[in-house]
Amino acid sequence: MGGPGLLSLAAWSFYVLVLAVQPHQAHSSIRGSFGLNKGAVASPENGLCASSVTVHGYKCEEHEVTTKDGYILSVQRIPEGRVGGTAGTKKQPVLIQHGLIADGMSWFLNSPEQNLPLILADKGFDVWISNNRGTRLSQRHVSLDPSQPAYWNWSWDELVSFELPALFDYVYGQTGQKIDYVGHSLGTLTALASFSEGKLVNQLKSAALLSPIAYLSYMKTALGVVAAKSFVGEIGTLFGLAEFNPKGKAGGDFIKFLCDNPGVDCSDLVTAITGKNCCLNSSTVDLLLTNVTQPTSTMTMVHLSQTVRDGVVAKFNYGRLDYNLKHYGQAIPPIYNLSNIPHDLPLFLSYGGQDALSDVLDVKHLLDDLKSHDVDKLSVQFIKDYAHVDFIMGVNAKDVVYNQVVKFFRGQH
């Protein structure tokens, strides 16, 4: 693939590497001013509830969900708003799913009045926050350890096949109600793929997809060309087929190599990678860079690169005929046919005109797949000035996006 395809493959690869760079260390006073408890960062010993929720006066519960392939996921529940609610009233459950190389903390970097989970709790929702396998709070398994390569033997296919179904089963089992869903970035791709296969839809009430990712053919970043020449096809050689940790030494060395190239400007990495975000607080960007970046699997990175290269949304390509035949019974991995998403499934898509990762042309390709969707079941919001990170950290996201999400959810019967 030439032109935008080559550039976009580099863009995605480079995005996950450089978002972890820490050019500024956030001071504890800054943490205290925003969503994080002063001096506290979510960890297995100091959970997300303690670091980011209860400190603001909200109830919060720590839960565990075990997937059928053995991964033990950390899930947080905020059952009510700060002022509580009517005793005995059943609240509408909503599951919130983060994006790539992030975890549930990414939703809590702004003040309580500005972050989505606490806004939804205050609006009367029963809020559930997921943390993907491999992230700091979800590194347990029934038999494997993250130090073992076998622990990292998964791509985003497994998030579709095992992780989202386990989360939906658990929340549905706990609440007895169909679930509203919010996904950002990779959390939209896995949801769309699941819906296309008929998964989750019987337990789903509606879905809000922020900065939706499906096709990746037109991603663009200023650093794409250098990353393409340096990185395409070499991720397995550089990192091995195991953990992909953007904060690791190999990742750091590779970033330095890219930034040392003539003409490459790494002074504002978030803008260079995600697009010109209109509405971020600089202190919150520091928190993003220092506290949120999380490991994923190398296979997930390769899988996303395949999505760019091949121009289709398909299952992981093992690169060998015998491996593909073993896993799929066919030489070429099956595609996720997004036009198979049930036409009466209520969907809300919100995308930005400045987003370098969820490019406008790629979103239009996705919308073309949804052209047969029931007109009254598909809501689309285009925000001209928004880029990728504005959707989770924009200081005006409550007014611009989140209030629309709430209105959409409440409009489904």
Catalytic residue annotation: 185, 355, 388
Identify the CA nearest to 35 among candidates 136, 169, 129.
Answer: 129
Max CA pair span of the chain: 63
CA 178 to chain CA mean position, Å: 22
State how far the Cα of 96 lies from the Cα of 104, in Å rounded to an integer: 8
Cβ-proximal residues to 176 (8 Å cutoff; 6+ apart), any chain: none
Q: Judge residue 142's burial from the number of C-beta atoms within 10 Å of its C-beta, 0-12 exposed, 13-18 middle, 19 or more buried.
A: exposed
State how far the Cα of 190 lies from the Cα of 23, in Å rounded to an integer: 31
Residue type, 292: V
Identify the CA nearest to 345 among candidates 177, 207, 211, 167.
Answer: 207
Residue-wise DSSP of 279-312: S--HHHHHHIIIII---EEHHHHHHHHHHHHHSS
Q: State how beta strands 61-66 and 71-78 pair.
A: antiparallel
How far CA 231 is from CA of 17, 37, 178, 219, in Å, comes to 11, 37, 42, 16
Which residues is 384 bridged to in the sheet? none
How far CA 352 is from CA of 155, 195, 277, 389, in Å, comes to 27, 23, 9, 10
Give yes or no for a contact between 362 and 218, defined as CB atoms under 8 angstroms apart.
yes
State how far the Cα of 91 lies from the Cα of 77, in Å rounded to an integer: 12
